Amino acid sequence: MTFKEKIRKQAMEYSRGRYGPDSLNRFLQWTSILLVVLGVVTPYRWIIVLGFLGMIGVNFRMLSKNISQRRLENQKFQKIVAPIQKQLNIGKTQRKEWKTSRIVRCPHCKEALRLPKNKGKLRITCPHCKGTFEKRV
């Protein structure tokens, strides 16, 4: 067995039955790094301590053998983060759509309609009130 294989085998044995990384840990890891960087670039040096405490927490969670408890923590974290992620994704979709479409109000019922952009003059039938109008998009 080569030295490399020996190290790999030891690492595998060490990580057996341990929790490992999850989304909460990734979040904590990046937050900790951010805190350390903030502590370095700002006069508030004590922030560095928070960053290191966060990293200790990350290692504790990753190496923990209490897998069900760690899974529960991650589920709670996901529950908090899911609505925020959803909002961010909606924003992303809207930005993408802004390039390819535009929102026009129906002159009859004032309903907002999404039309493809750069199609020239369009004859539009409002799906809401069935009224028709022409619009250059």
1: helix, strand or coil: coil
Q: How far is the CB of 135 from Zn ion (least distance, A)?
A: 12
Rounded CA separation 22/75 (Å)? 10
**Which residues, listed in sequence order, are joined to residue 80 by a DSSP beta bridge?**
none
Nearer to Zn ion, 20 or 107 (CB): 107
Scanning the chain, the segments in alpha helix (DSSP H) are 3-15, 23-41, 46-63, 67-100
- Using CB under 5 A, list all residues that contact Zn ion: 106, 108-109, 111, 126, 128-129, 131
State the nearest-atom distance from the C-beta of 111 to Zn ion, in Å.
5
